[in-house]
């Protein structure tokens, strides 16, 4: 018998379909860290390759950090080899300070800032920013990856150029130092300088600075010295009054030792070549300046969205504003002047390194110079840290809020 269901009866509800389960990740595959703010090694390597392939920029970096010091020293080596009487040795303390403070410090900052500005704007100028965003990578990680990538390029180049300068300045240093127009052995003690002065009494009396007045009769370049005082020797062809004929050698030797003792502090501040500690401190100081230039350039270019304006602003800051603000005493603006990163790094300069536009410590002196606006080491360190952290925050914030 066939049964017919009631017309009004409800049809049985179909059983619910099971929820599909996602495919499990393959065994052994690395976890997905695309949303992490910490840049991966692959991201850093990619940024490194992007910068390294820009040949014009790499040539400029190599030329400034390595090429200019190498070419300058090579020319001096050749000139001294072919004409040693006309051209002095290629190395020495003066050459070292001129290259480190005058070339590597200033121009190293500029090319490092140019590299940082390129790294901060390359994605926008080449239209790759949208493609980076759609990958799902953290924008903060994309920004932070540029810091180790750029520093991995500029810091080794600075180290190579600085090593060449140190090697030539040490191994090609002059055998003597020039002090008040006389060639002296370097590194003499006070007793050693007095002994040398006694053996070269005429040179010391005629050339060395001296506070006082003495009457001697010694042959100098243009005749005998009638009187020796703070203004220098008075040369005359007649013997001084009170002295008959040549002054006794014992008296000349005692006077020369007295003059040498008075000039010892000035003599002690001159070196034949830089010491190991000075070279280490200077190298770290120049690397710090390059790091500041790169990170500030990176943040400024990311904030502005272009490279050219950022590079021009940083050149003006380094060449024009920093020297002026480091030395000028502007009423009621001292604290604002101390916030300039160039003044802070100048105060961290090793003793004996002159700072562009702001003097520099003497070879035996401390950091900075009396010409610089006073600033403590603690304040200088805080200013540098604030610039590094602040421009990193500004650049990262702009990248995270920029429309793709």
pLDDT of 166 > 50? The answer is yes
Query: In 10 A of CB 380, how many CB atoms?
Result: 20
Rounded to the nearest 5°, which phi and psi values hold at 204?
-65, -45
Residue 177: pLDDT band with limits 50, 70, 90: confident
Bigger pLDDT: 42 vs 68: 68
Bigger pLDDT: 21 vs 76: 76
pLDDT of 143 > 70? The answer is yes
Q: Which of 108-112, 142-146, 284-288 has the lowest mean pLDDT?
A: 142-146
Arithmetic mean of pLDDT, 106-128: 86
- Number of residues written out for the chain: 404
Is residue 345 within 8 A of residue 285, CB to CB? The reply is yes
- What is the structure's pLDDT at 359? 42
In which element (H, E) is residue 160 found?
helix 146-171
| 313-327: b (≥16 Cβ within 10 Å) or e | bbeebbbeebbebbb
Arithmetic mean of pLDDT, 256-265: 81
The tokens 């060395």 sit on which residue? Answer: 208
- What is the structure's pLDDT at 62? 95
Question: Cα(388)–Cα(299) distance, rounded to whole angstroms?
Answer: 9
Question: Cα(44)–Cα(58) distance, rounded to whole angstroms?
Answer: 18
Is residue 55 within 8 A of residue 135, CB to CB? The reply is no
Q: Which of 98-112, 289-303, 336-350, 353-367 has the lowest mean pLDDT?
A: 353-367
User: What percent of the chain shows pLDDT beyond 90?
Assistant: 31
Query: In 10 A of CB 77, how many CB atoms?
Result: 16
Rounded to the nearest 5°, which phi and psi values hold at 229?
-145, -170
Query: In 10 A of CB 206, how many CB atoms?
Result: 23
Residue 360: pLDDT band with limits 50, 70, 90: very low
Question: Cα(394)–Cα(284) distance, rounded to whole angstroms?
Answer: 26
Rounded to the nearest 5°, which phi and psi values hold at 245?
70, -155
Rounded to the nearest 5°, which phi and psi values hold at 26?
-55, 145
pTM: 0.76
- What is the structure's pLDDT at 109? 94
CA dihedral 272, 278, 283, 286 (to 10 degrees): -90
User: What percent of the chain shows pLDDT beyond 70?
Assistant: 74
Query: In 10 A of CB 264, how many CB atoms?
Result: 18
The tokens 């090697």 sit on which residue? Answer: 167
Query: In 10 A of CB 40, how many CB atoms?
Result: 15
Question: Cα(125)–Cα(293) distance, rounded to whole angstroms?
Answer: 21
pLDDT of 366 > 50? The answer is no
Is residue 240 within 8 A of residue 227, CB to CB? The reply is yes
* Burial of 3 from C-beta contacts in 10 A (0-12 / 13-18 / 19+): exposed
Which of 297, 345, 352 lies closest to 154, judged by CA?
A: 297
- What is the structure's pLDDT at 231? 56
pLDDT of 244 > 50? The answer is no
């Amino acid at each position: 018998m066939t049964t017919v269901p009631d017309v009004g009866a409800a049809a049985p509800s179909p059983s619910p379909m099971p929820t599909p389960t996602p495919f499990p990740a393959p065994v052994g595959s690395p976890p997905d860290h695309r949303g992490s703010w910490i840049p991966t090694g692959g991201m850093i390597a990619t940024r490194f390759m992007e910068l390294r392939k820009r040949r014009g920029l790499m040539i400029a970096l190599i030329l400034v950090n390595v090429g200019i010091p190498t070419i300058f020293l090579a020319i001096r080596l050749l000139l001294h080899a072919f004409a040693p009487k006309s051209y002095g040795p290629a190395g020495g303390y003066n050459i070292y300070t001129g290259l480190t403070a005058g070339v590597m410090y200033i121009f190293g900052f500029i090319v490092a800032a140019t590299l940082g500005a390129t790294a901060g704007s390359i994605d926008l100028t080449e239209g790759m920013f949208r493609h980076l965003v759609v990958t799902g990578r953290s924008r903060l990680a994309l920004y932070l990856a540029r810091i180790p990538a750029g520093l991995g390029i500029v810091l080794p180049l600075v180290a190579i150029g600085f090593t060449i300068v140190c090697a030539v300045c040490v191994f090609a240093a002059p055998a003597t130092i020039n002090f008040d127009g006389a060639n002296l052995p370097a590194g003499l003690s006070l007793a050693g300088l007095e002994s040398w002065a006694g053996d070269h009494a005429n040179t010391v009396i005629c050339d060395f600075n001296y506070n006082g007045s003495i009457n001697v009769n010694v042959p100098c370049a243009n005749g005998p010295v009638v009187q020796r005082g703070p203004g220098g020797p008075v040369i005359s062809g007649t013997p001084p009054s009170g002295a008959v004929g040549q002054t006794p050698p014992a008296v000349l030797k005692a006077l020369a030792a007295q003059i040498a003792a008075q000039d010892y502090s000035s003599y002690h501040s001159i070196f034949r070549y830089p010491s190991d500690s000075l070279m280490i401190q200077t190298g770290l100081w120049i690397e710090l300046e390059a790091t500041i230039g790169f990170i500030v350039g990176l943040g400024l270019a990311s904030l502005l969205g272009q490279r050219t304006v950022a590079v021009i602003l940083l050149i003006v800051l380094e060449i024009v504003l920093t020297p002026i603000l480091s030395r000028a005493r502007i009423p009621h603006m001292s604290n604002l002047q101390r916030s300039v990163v160039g003044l802070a790094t100048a105060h961290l300069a090793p003793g004996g390194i002159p700072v562009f536009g702001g003097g520099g410590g003497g070879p035996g002196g401390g950091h900075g110079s009396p010409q610089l606006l006073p600033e403590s080491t603690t304040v200088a360190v805080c200013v540098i840290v604030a610039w590094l952290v602040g421009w990193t925050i500004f650049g990262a914030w702009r990248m995270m809020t920029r429309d793709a």
